[in-house]
Amino acid sequence: MKKIVYMVTVSIGALLVFSGCNGITPQQQRAQKPEVIQKVIIQKVSKEQIAKVIRDERLAQATSMPEKQFVVYGEGIAPMNTISPAQAIALAKRAAVTDGYRQLGEKLYGIRVNAKETVKDAALKDSRIETQVNGLIKNATITESKYKDGLFTVRMELDMNGARWKEIFSY
């Protein structure tokens, strides 16, 4: 009988210890803990202020990005049917600058490639590949240009810092 009473007492003690009961009522627990008062502040913010904060956050992140320089070499050929040699050089230069801008667009925005093939009688009849570049290039500078043997070559550079990069490509 003593063993049973002893086991019941030990079991109840263990149950109290493991259940977390410390003999304190919930009212006593509330009285022991200081009550935390949270203050809520309501402030009206305009859309312009939110946009400014977001813009400042983006610029803060963008300024940590290193500056990158893109360099391309554009080439243009002087056409044969021009009125004067000066016109041939001017047209070759324009073609070289356009080629340089195209190459910068390819580097910054990528190229869209469309291909179509026609097969007839188990043989390739027609194969067409079209490429397209869409982009906006600003502030590219021509650092070098030369004309030799009907070929005009320009060296173009585009400097991109982090803020400019985010401005163009944050969409």
DSSP 8-class letter at 35: P
Query: How many structural domains is the chain composed of?
Result: 1
Q: What's the pTM? A: 0.56
Q: Is residue 25 part of a domain?
A: no
Q: Is residue 87 part of a domain?
A: yes
- Tell me the per-residue pLDDT of 79-136, one tens digit each, with 9 for 90 and over: 989 999 999 999 999 999 999 999 999 988 889 999 999 998 888 899 999 999 988 8
Q: Is residue 12 part of a domain?
A: no
Q: Is residue 103 part of a domain?
A: yes
Give me the phi and psi of 141, to 5 degrees please: -115, 145
Q: Residue 73's domain spans which residues?
A: 60-169
Q: Is residue 133 part of a domain?
A: yes
| Contact between 155 and 142 (Cβ < 8 Å) | yes
Collapsing DSSP states into helix, strand and coil, what is residue 74? strand
Percent residues over pLDDT 90 in the chain: 40
Q: Is residue 136 part of a domain?
A: yes
- Tally of CB atoms within 10 A around 76: 22
Q: Is residue 118 part of a domain?
A: yes
Q: Is residue 105 part of a domain?
A: yes
pLDDT bracket for residue 9 (50, 70, 90): confident
Contacts (Cβ under 8 Å, ≥6 apart) of 162 = 61, 62, 63, 64, 65, 66, 67
What is the distance between the alpha carbons of residues 89 and 153, in angstroms, rounded to a whole number? 11
- At 10, the amino acid letter reads V
Would the pLDDT of 21 be above 70? no
What is the reported pLDDT for 156?
Answer: 96
- Tell me the per-residue pLDDT of 39-80, one tens digit each, with 9 for 90 and over: 767 777 787 887 787 777 765 554 555 678 899 999 999 998
